[in-house]
Amino acid sequence: MDRSHRRVLYDRVRLRANQHGASKDCCLALPSAENNLSLRHQEWTKTATGPPCRTLRQNGGQASSHNLFVRRGWEGGARNDEGFTTGLEHFTSLGYDVVALDYRLGIKIAKERNEITPANGTEMYLRAIQWSVEDLFDATSFVLKHADDWNIDKDQIVLMGGSSGATNSLVAEYNVANATELARTHLPVGFKYAGVISMAGAFWLKANTPLAFKNQPAPIMFFHGGKDQLVTYDEVEGPFSGYGPVAYFRKFPGPDYPKWFVDYPQGDHIIAAMPMIDSLNEMDAFLEKLVKERQQVSIHAVEEDRMPKTFANAAALLPKP
């Protein structure tokens, strides 16, 4: 299958290079907390010219696709976390390359500096998101700089994340679609992501910021639970403006804004991880139809389960070690 028009960036999970056969044409990238860069088993130190990242690739011919994932509450997580290994191996088996990268953990840093207080907590979280998006943009620029050497299609980079990583990815797309100063400063002129996959993420913006776009946003795939304890499912206005998938579908109905929402009314924040276990086929379809083929469709799928996807049911839902 020709996947030469796909790209995905991912965060947080370890993959081993050269586990599978020759690559097709896609790539996954993962932000993490390690301070090194490895490419095809070569180790690089962090420098001012590029963010720390790990590129795990198969030997390929055609230009490949790319995916980026971001992690836990802006306090922790590592690109060698084994929790998503099986899911990412699914992508590499289809020919995706994987780039793993680091970003600053803003809340961890704020706590270490004793900066965060009950009064400024929202401000610290918004700063953490901005730092993460800035680092994500720098990592994207680093990948673009090496795209020809790595045989990566620059027009097919897809962001992917869970929880804080999903929020970072959505806010990154918000900045790109609105050509903000942050995007203009850290990304090449005219660059656009080809898609976003969000697992329990939301657009978290400064207070009184409407969810609006100057330019057409990339196709977005949302996975989200109606009982999510942490991340906005619909819409909230207060110390910050939060917009989840329900709000996105309400504000941008119809196929003019390509999107796909897998909706779990009974699900909670475990949806930040579950799709990498049981919804890989849906992700494949999103990448094929909305990213590669650029189909103009709007899909809202509602899943109700006899055993709801919640942390209370985690032992039964998650694969046995």
Rounded CA gap, 212 and 8, in Å? 24
H or E segment and range at residue 148: helix 147-150
Do the Cβ atoms of 97 and 152 come closer than 8 Å?
A: yes
State which residues form the domain around 275: 26-317
Within a domain: 272 = yes
Q: Write down the pLDDT at residue 222.
A: 98
* Count: domains in the chain: 1
Residue 176 has what pLDDT?
Answer: 98
Are β-strands 220-225 and 259-264 bridged in parallel, bridged antiparallel, or unpaired?
Answer: parallel
* pTM listed for this prediction: 0.83
- Residue at 12 is within a domain: no
Backbone angles phi, psi at 231, to 5 degrees: -120, 140
For residues 265, 85, 109, 111, the Cα torsion angle rounded to the nearest 10 degrees is 50
For residue 19, being part of any structural domain is answered with: no
Look at residue 76 and tell me if it is in a domain. yes
- The residue whose two tokens read 């679609």 is 177
In a domain, 2, yes or no: no
* Residue 249 maps to a domain: yes
Give the mean pLDDT per block of 10 residues along the chain (321 residues). Answer: 38 30 34 30 31 43 45 68 73 73 85 94 95 92 87 86 91 98 97 95 97 98 97 96 98 98 97 93 95 96 96 91 72
Q: Helix 121-145 to helix 164-177 angle, to the nearest 10 degrees?
A: 70
- Residue 171 falls within a domain, yes or no? yes
Q: Are strands 64-68 and 42-45 parallel, antiparallel or unpaired?
A: unpaired
CATH code for position 45:
3.40.50.1820
DSSP output for 166-225 = HHHHHHHHHHHHTT-HHHHHHS-TT---SEEEEES--EEEETT-----SSPPPPEEEEEE
Looking at residue 203, its pLDDT comes to 98
Query: What pLDDT score does 167 carry?
Result: 94
Determine, yes or no, domain membership for 17: no
